[in-house]
Amino acid sequence: MNRAVRRGLFVVLTIAVGLLAAFDGSRAANPVAGPAALEERNEAVNRLAGLNEQERALVAELLDWDVRIEAARQEHERLTGEIPVVRQALADSEAGLQVTREQLRAGRDRLGQWVNFLYRYGPVAYLEVILSAVDFNDFVARAESVKTIIISQVRLLEEVRDLQRRQEEQAETLRQAQAGLTAKTTALSQKLVEMDRDRAGREAFLADLRQQSTGLADEVLQSETVLYQSITSLRYLLSHLNTLPWNSLSPEKFSLSGRGLRIEFADQEINKVFFGQDDPNLASLSVRSSSGLFAISGRAEAAGTDFRMEGAFVLDGDGKVRFQPARVLLAGLPVTSEVLKYIASEQSLSVDLGDRTRGYRLTDIRSEEGKLIVELYQPSLPPGP
């Protein structure tokens, strides 16, 4: 085995000691939560999920109310703006109708006066025309002629009457339009009042739901914090990672590529070496790696439930590695983000690996299916013997 390979294997064993040393530290006293507390927590989580679902539905409903109310307000403004236009058109139509009526009345008076004057005093009075007939047939003919002349004068008045009739119809149409707009505006005003009242009621209901959710979320936070503190096996693991037998791990595979070194640790090897050594504090634990996810699972006997902690390893600069928890599940239900932050803050989750790489620089640490991958890079090769 050449010098570079031996150096790579040495690095494998030394860096493994510090991969998760950030988890050291523990609390002196751990509260114990039994199955009853877990059941209460699960019920509270389910109720909280139901409240959150109701809250989301109410928020969507209120948004719909806002859209409908705004549409109704715009319609109300449009109708209100149309009323003065119709009112002015009606006033103009009625004024024109009044003028036409006066013209018709004046024309009718003038025609009567004109016919009566000509009948009695014209240059050839209608009465004289009729009375000068030589016989009955001539009388009928003369009377028909007079009738024709009078009818031709009356036609002028009929045209004025037609104009009056059209104007009356137009005015009636405008009056109906004005009445319809007024009725619609009044009804819409009442509807807006009712919509605002209904929306206010739903908004008050939403405020009550949010108050309930806040109180229930506080209960869940407290119960989950106590439950986490009762999981002694996980807390023991996080506080004793630096004392685990990392040096006893055997890489499943390693490979050199130029100045790069890739090391693979299988989940089976980690579980056998870490949790198969008759330590009762670790006996229920196991790890499982998947793409981008490192999970620690076990049994919380005090709470009577299973747990699972998921996260990923990230580089923190200058040879430091930090484990970043993403999710913790109790009885299959994820804990709240506040509890997750509490878990992350309770332990030191970073470690400085700069003095453990023996000339190699840590470039990546990640989980893949069934294994943990560590990649190193040697900036410069050491001189030969």
d(CA 288, CA 3): 33
- What is the pTM (predicted TM-score) of this model? 0.54
Other beta carbons within 10 Å of 333? 16
Which domains, ranges and CATH numbers included, belong to the chain? Answer: 3-24+240-377 (no CATH), 59-217 (1.10.287.1490)
pLDDT at position 216: 85
Tokens representing 322 are 């930090």
Question: What is the structure's pLDDT at 302?
Answer: 65
CA distances to 107, 143, 248 from 120, in Å = 20, 15, 144
One DSSP character per residue, 235-304 reads HHHHHSGGGS-GGG---SEEEEETTEEEEEEEHHHHHHHHHSSS-TTTTT-EEEEETTEEEEEEEETTTT
On the 0-12 / 13-18 / 19+ scale of CB atoms within 10 A, 217 is middle
pLDDT for res 293: 93
Question: What phi, psi does 205 have (nearest 5°)?
Answer: -65, -40
**Contacts with 66 (C-beta within 8 Å, 6 or more apart), sequence order:** 199
SS3 state of residue 91: helix
DSSP letter at 90?
H
Residue-wise pLDDT for 71-107, tens only, equals: 988 988 888 888 888 888 888 888 887 877 787 777 7
Q: Return the pLDDT at 357.
A: 64
Sign of CA dihedral 159, 161, 165, 168: positive
Amino acid occupying residue 230: S
Which pLDDT score, from 0 to 100, does residue 351 have? 63
Q: What is the pLDDT of residue 10?
A: 46
∠ Cα 163 167 173 (to 5°):
150
Residues whose CB is less than 8 angstroms from the CB of residue 97 and which lie 6 or more positions away in sequence, other chains included: 164, 167, 168, 171
Residues (pLDDT < 70) of the chain are 1-36, 108, 110-134, 142, 145-146, 149, 152-153, 156-157, 240-244, 246-247, 302-303, 346-357, 380-385
In which region does residue 378 sit, left (phi positive, over 0), alpha (psi from -120 to 50) or beta (all else)?
beta
Quick check: 65 and 212 in contact, CB under 8 A? no
Beta bridge partners of 295: 288, 310
- The tokens for 79 are 């109708």
